Amino acid sequence: MNPTRRTLLTGLTALFGSLAAGCALPRLWNPCHPRLPDSLAHHPLVTAAWEGIDPAQVWDCHAHIAGIGDSGSGIVLSPQMSSLFHPIQFMQRRFYLNAGCVQETPGRVDQSYVERLRTLIDDLRPGAKMMLFAFDRAHDASGRPLPEQSTFYVPNDYARSLASAYPRHFEWVASIHPARRDALAALEQAKEHGAQAVKWLPPAMGIDPADPVCQPFYQALARLDLPLITHGGEEKAVHGIGKPEFGNPLRLRRALDSGVRTIVAHCASIGTDHDTDHGDQPISSFALFTRMMEHPDHRELLFGDLSAITLRNRDPEVVRTLLKRQEWHGRLLNGTDYPLPGILPLISPAALAQAGLLHETAVPVLKELQTYNALLFDLVLKRQLSAHGARLATRVFETRRFFTRKQS
């Protein structure tokens, strides 16, 4: 069993152990309340969260499409996700679908996920949108798709169709494995059809970002001015065929040297990698992200997304650093990693308050907000975070201009 599976298993065992012992536990399932009540919609913390932010610039740059493929969407889940013989993946599926507030009636799952998202976005301010990720299959080095080793597949066509059906709510992000024989054609087509970026999850998809095989893909990304959003640090959400070191931020140098605007998902805020610059010593992935951010050659090209940084499994020191490094704020882009903020036990405002990053009076409001609107919860929480007076700059939430800039 790999360390990730072991950690998850230990976590779940502990969770169910404490359930059995009758301990006070965080609420497990999202009750999926409908529209925000007025008391929350006009709560001073919610009003304060929008202050100084132009909602038309707010694009959530990290959001997942979930479903089971029952709408003709082409989504495919691995059989393990639905099997009680694979309890971790089975529970993950339950949590994701509950966080996305789907109706589990056959034929309604895909659609109800999207309907819930539109309702959540309608409760933000007009103009705010979400960038929905397609999710490519794992492929082998020769570019052959490996459906049986892909946990999860969301076709580009489905992400694109949602953005074109609901332009007020969604933009879309393509996912293309660089070893695919049609990778460059698929990339051109994605750009033509309005994709705002390309998403990779290297450890799950079997992509080594440092492999020379990626070179033509990087050149095309740079030419088309399509940013690459790629997972950094340890991967916990999706099981796959790739090696954990594919998430090492140091492996992104080839992309950067090719001129690709590269966004490290979650700022590599969890996990340990080998410091391949210094004798392969183990070092936190976030320290390697920091090293890459500090390199003067990367100033215009390397960025970090803020999705998942508030999760319980992150070291509060990472959040503190991100708040304090004001000189980075022009290079940080907010994303929610939806549906994760809808999984109630994953984020603990009380723990963040205990770490001195949040005023404790905000905790009950945030907890209530999370059960109504996970997107607004993410915004209010991140706007409330502070470390010795340092807060995230408003521009980290105004990500649209990053994606729609005209290439000079």
Three-state SS at 153? strand
CA dihedral 369, 375, 377, 383 (to 10 degrees): -150
Nearest 5°: phi and psi at 331? -120, 10
SS3 132: strand
Q: Is the peptide bond before 316 cis (omega within 30 degrees of 0)?
A: no
Residue nearest to Zn ion (CB): 337
The least CB distance from residue 349 to Zn ion, in Å, is 21
- C-alpha dist (Å) from residue 206 to 86, 168, 177, 202, 253: 21, 34, 9, 6, 18
Q: Which amino acid is at 8?
A: L
Region of 49-57, 86-94, 102-110, 336-344 interacting with Zn ion (CB under 5 A): 336-344
Between 273 and 337, name the residue whose CB sits nearer to Zn ion.
337
CB of 314 to Zn ion, least distance (A): 14
Q: Considering only the stretches 52-60, 92-100, 101-109, 332-340, report the one whose residues sit in contact with Zn ion under the rule CB under 5 A.
A: 332-340
Cα(183)–Cα(191) distance, integer angstroms: 12
User: Cβ closer to Zn ion: 36 or 396?
Assistant: 396
Of 167, 95, 158, which is closest to residue 130 (Cα–Cα)?
167
Q: Which residue's entry shows tokens 């970002």?
A: 209
Minimum distance from CB of 266 to Zn ion (Å)? 8
* Identity of the residue, 208 or 337, whose beta carbon is nearer to Zn ion in the bound complex: 337
CB of 62 to Zn ion, least distance (A): 6
**Closest by Cα among 327, 330, 343 to 378:** 343
CA torsion through residues 322, 326, 332, 334, sign: positive
Site stretch for Zn ion (CB under 5 A), options 65-73, 291-299, 330-338, 352-360: 330-338
Closest approach, Cβ 290 to Zn ion, in A, equals 21
Nearer residue to Zn ion within complex by CB, 234 or 337: 337
Sole window of 26-34, 93-101, 112-120, 331-339 interacting with Zn ion (rule: CB under 5 A): 331-339
Contact 312, 346 (CB under 8 A): yes
**CB of 337 or CB of 365, closer to Zn ion:** 337
Assess 337 for contact with Zn ion (CB under 5 A).
yes
Q: Between residues 60 and 337, which has the closer beta carbon with respect to Zn ion?
A: 337
Q: How far is the CB of 335 from Zn ion (least distance, A)?
A: 8
Residues 253-292 close enough to bind Zn ion by CB under 5 A: none
> Which residue number, 61 or 392, has a Cβ lying nearer to Zn ion?
61
Query: How many residues sit in the footprint of Zn ion (CB under 5 A)?
Result: 1
Of 102-110, 159-167, 245-253, 337-345, which part binds Zn ion (CB under 5 A)?
A: 337-345
Min CB(208)–Zn ion separation in Å? 19
CB of 268 to Zn ion, least distance (A): 13
User: Dihedral through CA 59, CA 115, CA 81, CA 334, nearest 10?
Assistant: 10
Q: Which is nearer to Zn ion, 96 or 328 (CB)?
A: 96
One-letter identity of residue 397: F
Q: Which of residues 31-60 bind Zn ion (CB under 5 A)?
A: none
Whole-number Å distance between alpha carbons of 350 and 35: 24
Task: Determine the 3-state secondary structure of 229 from DSSP.
Answer: strand
- Candidates 181, 163, 154; CA nearest to 59 is 163
Q: Which residues in this chain contact Zn ion in the complex, by CB under 5 A? A: 337
